[in-house]
């Protein structure tokens, strides 16, 4: 009994010491938050007047807000606060989307039998040719075959995926959509299959490939009222039986205020801007709330064009050629920010399109997002892509600023880059002093880490 009491006392003392040490480290972090910058390219003076605010938190109760001029991080000032109730950070909502799933390149794997439900569309892959090949495949064997898809489907088979800002009514609009988008299966469309069965005779793997058409890829954007969408075609398809033919489609969405459920108004589905797929390929589609317009990027004779379509009357109000190599499409998801867009080709070259006071867009800046850092101190040369999916962007009419957390789940450090009319003016690696304190934490919950909305860019 005495040994048990002594052990309990010893563990209590250790826990108290550990808590005291943690408190000392945390209070030290509170009083001594500092930021230092390592110049990777250009002149830090190019970042003068750019204010960075970074928010870090511990266990959702302790919050640090550190502000500094990007050209002089040594002058950082920190506001520290304790919150008895758990901090509530904004949650990024999923993007509303409508997807037509039809794939002819890729594979399906399963521990069970993929063909248990032969009517099911697995990620948009057509099943009927696979069912025929499976009949010819013995347990434990792999078979290959080529199939003319029109022998199995008169119209392209596809599955539909919807998401808006909330829940939908239970009635399924898929059949109505299938009847609207009756796209003839090309007679010469051949798909190659490789199918594997396990020892029990279950189909556990199917690989698809096609040299003529890869799939039917949906480009979609949305407003509060519904979806705007089209298709980025990788081959010639026949839209002659689709009302209005090929183009930009609008699918309204209605909200039942009482039930708080959305319904898709498929009976009002329409082609609001017809296009000739033989003359252009749609690369991207974005809704601009400030202008109540669609920004449509198209590839025409090897050149990329921005087409601005007013949603009041569905009239084309502007066409602007975009510099860069867009033969292989958009290289990175287009960023739509307050007052500007950032579009990037497949060679890391971007164009910043600024919204003008009179309506429309202008190409304000161009640059390259790939930074090659020369080898130094025995390290190899590094290539750094300056734009991330979660990057924070800012633009003051002359300079584009991109701030990107390096490892948001492990570190408060970030890269910051500044572009002007001449290209990249400055790039720096910003180190946060709390990362040293983080070495004490054994788990993520013990670390001072960036919040969901960690970085903010403003201009003096």
- H-run or E-run covering 435: helix 434-437
Q: Please write down the long-range contacts of 315-318, taking CB distance under 8 Å and 24 or more positions apart.
A: 316/273, 317/293, 317/359, 317/360, 318/360, 318/361
Q: Which pLDDT belongs to residue 72?
A: 96
Q: Which pLDDT belongs to residue 453?
A: 87
Which of 66, 46, 47 is closest to 56 using CA atoms?
66
Q: Which pLDDT belongs to residue 207?
A: 96
Alpha helices (H) along 87-211: 128-135, 174-180
Q: 255 by DSSP, 3-state: which?
A: strand
Q: Which pLDDT belongs to residue 438?
A: 58
Structure tokens at 317: 């109000």
CB atoms within 10 A of CB 440: 16
Token match 């084309």: residue? 316
Q: Which pLDDT belongs to residue 174?
A: 77
Q: Which pLDDT belongs to residue 170?
A: 46
CA atoms of 193 and 312, how far apart (whole Å): 47
Question: Per-residue pLDDT for the chain (460 aa), expressed as one digit of tens each?
Answer: 545 555 555 555 444 444 434 444 554 445 568 999 999 999 999 999 999 999 999 888 899 999 999 999 999 999 999 998 888 877 776 778 888 888 888 999 988 888 887 666 677 899 999 999 999 999 999 999 999 999 999 999 888 887 766 655 545 677 888 899 999 999 989 999 999 999 999 999 999 999 878 778 899 999 988 899 999 875 678 899 999 999 999 999 887 777 667 788 899 999 999 999 888 999 999 999 999 999 999 999 999 999 999 999 999 999 999 999 999 999 999 999 999 999 999 999 999 999 998 889 999 999 999 999 887 776 788 899 999 989 999 999 999 999 999 988 888 999 999 999 999 999 999 999 988 765 544 455 567 888 888 999 999 8
Contact in structure between 235 and 184 (CB atoms under 8 Å): no
Q: Which pLDDT belongs to residue 296?
A: 97
């Amino acid at each position: 009994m005495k040994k048990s009491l002594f052990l309990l006392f010893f563990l209590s003392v250790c826990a108290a010491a550990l808590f005291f040490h943690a408190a000392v480290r945390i209070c030290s972090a509170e009083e001594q938050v500092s930021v230092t910058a390592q110049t990777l390219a250009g002149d830090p003076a190019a970042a003068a007047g750019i204010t960075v605010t970074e928010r870090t938190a511990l266990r959702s109760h302790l919050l640090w807000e550190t502000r500094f001029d990007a050209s002089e991080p040594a002058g950082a000032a920190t506001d520290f606060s304790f919150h008895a109730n758990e901090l509530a950070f904004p949650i990024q909502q999923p993007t509303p989307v409508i997807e037509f799933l039809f794939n002819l390149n890729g594979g399906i794997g399963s521990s069970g039998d993929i063909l248990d439900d032969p009517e099911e569309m697995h990620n948009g892959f057509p099943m009927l040719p696979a069912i025929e090949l499976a009949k010819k495949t013995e347990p434990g064997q792999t078979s290959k075959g080529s199939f003319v898809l029109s022998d199995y489907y008169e119209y392209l088979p596809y599955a539909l995926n919807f998401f808006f800002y909330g829940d939908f009514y239970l009635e399924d609009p898929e059949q109505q959509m299938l009847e609207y988008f009756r796209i003839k299966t090309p007679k010469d469309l051949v798909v190659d299959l490789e199918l594997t069965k396990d020892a029990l005779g279950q189909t556990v793997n199917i690989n698809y490939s096609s040299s003529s058409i890869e799939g039917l890829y949906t480009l979609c954007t949305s407003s509060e009222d519904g979806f705007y969408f089209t298709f980025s075609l990788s081959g010639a398809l026949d839209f002659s039986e689709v009302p209005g033919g090929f183009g930009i489609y609008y699918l309204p969405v209605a909200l039942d205020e009482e039930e708080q459920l959305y319904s898709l108004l498929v009976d009002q589905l329409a082609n609001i801007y017809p296009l000739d797929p033989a003359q252009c390929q749609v690369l991207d589609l974005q809704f601009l709330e400030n202008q109540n317009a669609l920004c449509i990027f198209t590839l025409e004779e090897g050149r990329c064009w921005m087409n601005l379509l007013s949603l009041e009357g569905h009239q084309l109000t502007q066409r602007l050629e975009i510099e860069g190599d867009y033969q292989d499409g958009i290289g990175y998801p287009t960023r739509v920010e307050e007052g500007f867009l950032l579009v990037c080709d497949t060679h890391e070259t971007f164009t910043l399109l600024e919204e003008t006071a009179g309506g429309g867009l202008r190409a304000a800046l161009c640059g390259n997002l790939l930074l090659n850092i020369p080898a130094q101190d025995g390290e190899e040369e590094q290539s750094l892509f300056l734009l991330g999916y979660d990057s924070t962007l800012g633009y003051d009419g002359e300079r584009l600023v991109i701030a990107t957390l390096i490892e948001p789940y492990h570190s408060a450090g970030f890269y910051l880059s500044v572009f002007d009319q001449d290209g990249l003016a400055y790039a720096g690696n910003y180190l946060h002093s709390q990362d040293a304190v983080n070495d004490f934490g054994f788990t993520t919950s013990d670390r001072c880490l960036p919040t969901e909305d960690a970085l903010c860019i403003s201009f003096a």
